[in-house]
Structure 1
Amino acid sequence: FWYSTSTGQVKSWCKRWLPVAVETSIFTYQSTTVRVEGSVEKVSDEESEQYFHSRPRGSQIGAIVSKQSSVIPGRHVLYQQYKELEEKFSDWSLIPKPEFWGGYRLKPELFEFWQGQTSRLHDRLQYSPQEINGKRVWKINRLCP
């Protein structure tokens, strides 16, 4: 799993010193949750650069003006900075990736799937890797809800 973020914020700082993560995706409509645990590594600057420039220009500008988790006096500040950069790059020149922006890769070591049931007897399946005959295979365990 690959994700990008502001590398100056707390969660990125933690990834450098505690390189493990848990990602949880909740699908309310389907009463489903997927949890992924694993180790985290920072991707190369080249890979971050390539991904940054594959994103829509509006997302690139948004990444520059949104210094994630920093305090701002109001939303109008974001809009003003966004408009200024939109004007600056209106000639369709290359938008530089900010230094504080990069990517991380989560290497899955455990998956858990939870499917809600009205009876509260929810389904929970956990997939964890095991090595069998020199090959990595995923063992499936059913967990109590």
Structure 2
Amino acid sequence: MRDLDNSSRGRQAAEYAATADLAAMRVDYGVAHFGSGEDTDLDETWVAGGWEPLLRHWIEQATAVGAAEPNAMVLATVSLASGSPRPVSRTVLCKGLSPEGVTFYTNYDSAKGGQLAEIPFAAATFLWPALGRQIHVRGPVDKVPDEVTTVYWRSRPRDSQLGAWASHQSRPIGSRAEMDRVLAETTARFADVDDIPVPPRWGGYLLRPDEVEFWQGRRGRLHNRIRVRIDAGRQIVDRLQP
């Protein structure tokens, strides 16, 4: 019994040590430099022309410093599968940006597609650790028109088009080998087709923000947070405490 207790205490000590290491992890954000420019403090004037130009500018700056997939965003939806609302998140790519909102594409029969059909609201977070910046976009979601989906589809690499046809997104499959077999069959199916059509249950969504928050890291956790709320076409801008 004593040996078992000692073993248990050893595991607890190891777990605590690992937790302590995580607790000690932090970055004290300072002033970042981009080329010859300086990252001055974010303030309300930066969104005077609307939320979309600043989001676009920050994506461009993330691209300039070599951030991996600077248009990646964590998309959160709400699932009712368990009988009560539960948040579900995953990373997708922003493939369109306009004053109307943020566009992304997926299989409409995927988990996220089913969740958006039930509760057509979402939140998305863009994160660029190298720049010490985040942007949170929240609001209702609509499907984009078929013609918008078609234009984007034609710009996709052929391998990505074949993958969209081969995958029943979010559904279980027995093995990677089975997935590879389905892809090979799909590739053969379209071997003589120059322009692969859009799958019937595949397309885009437009997240139309009613709230956008810009976050800029600063020393001592006193970060800059500017929130833009959109109400009947009017912008309401607030500074939030960190």
TM-score per shorter chain, which class? 0.7 to 0.9
Q: Which residue of 2 aligns with 1:34?
A: 135
Q: TM-score, normalised by structure 1?
A: 0.83
Query: Which structure dedicates a bigger proportion of its chain to strand?
Result: 1
Q: Does 1:73 align with 2:179?
A: no
Query: What is aligned with 2:186?
Result: 85
- Which structure has the bigger radius of gyration? 2
Q: Secondary structure at the match of 2:200?
A: coil
Matched, 1:21 2:147: no
Question: What is the CA-CA distance between 1:92 and the residue it aligns to?
Answer: 4.4
Match for residue 208 of structure 2 among 104, 107, 129: 107
Shift of 1:36: 0.5
Counterpart Cα distance in 2 of 1:76 and 1:31: 41
Equivalenced residues, count: 141
How far apart are the structure 1 equivalents of 2:180 and 2:197?
19
Q: Which runs of 5+ in 1 are unaligned?
A: none
Query: Quick check: 86-95 or 4-13, which moved more?
Result: 86-95
Choose between structure 1 and 2: higher helix proportion.
2
- Which residue of 2 is the match for residue 59 of structure 1? 160
In structure 1, give the amino acid aligned to 2:192: D
Q: Which residue of 2 aligns with 1:8?
A: 109
1:4 partner letter: Y
Q: Tell me: higher relative CO, structure 1 or 2? Use CA pairs within 8 A at least 6 residues apart.
A: 1
The equivalent of 1:144 in structure 2 is 241
- The DSSP-based 3-state class of the residue aligned with 1:108 is coil
TM, length-normalised to structure 2? 0.53
Q: For residue 220 of structure 2, give the secondary structure of its aligned residue in structure 1.
A: coil
**Tell me, what secondary structure is at the counterpart of 1:68?**
coil
Cα deviation, 1:34-82, whole Å, max 9, x if unaligned, reads: 1101111112333323322221111111111222211122223222322
Which moved further from structure 2: 99-108 or 49-58? 49-58
Q: Is the 8 A contact 2:210 2:231 kept in 1?
A: no
**Alignment-mate amino acid for residue 240 of structure 2:** L
How much identity, in percent, do the aligned residues show?
A: 35
Point out the more displaced range, 57-66 or 71-80.
71-80
Segments of 5+ residues of structure 2 without an aligned counterpart are: 1-101
Which SS does the other structure have where 2:165 is aligned?
helix
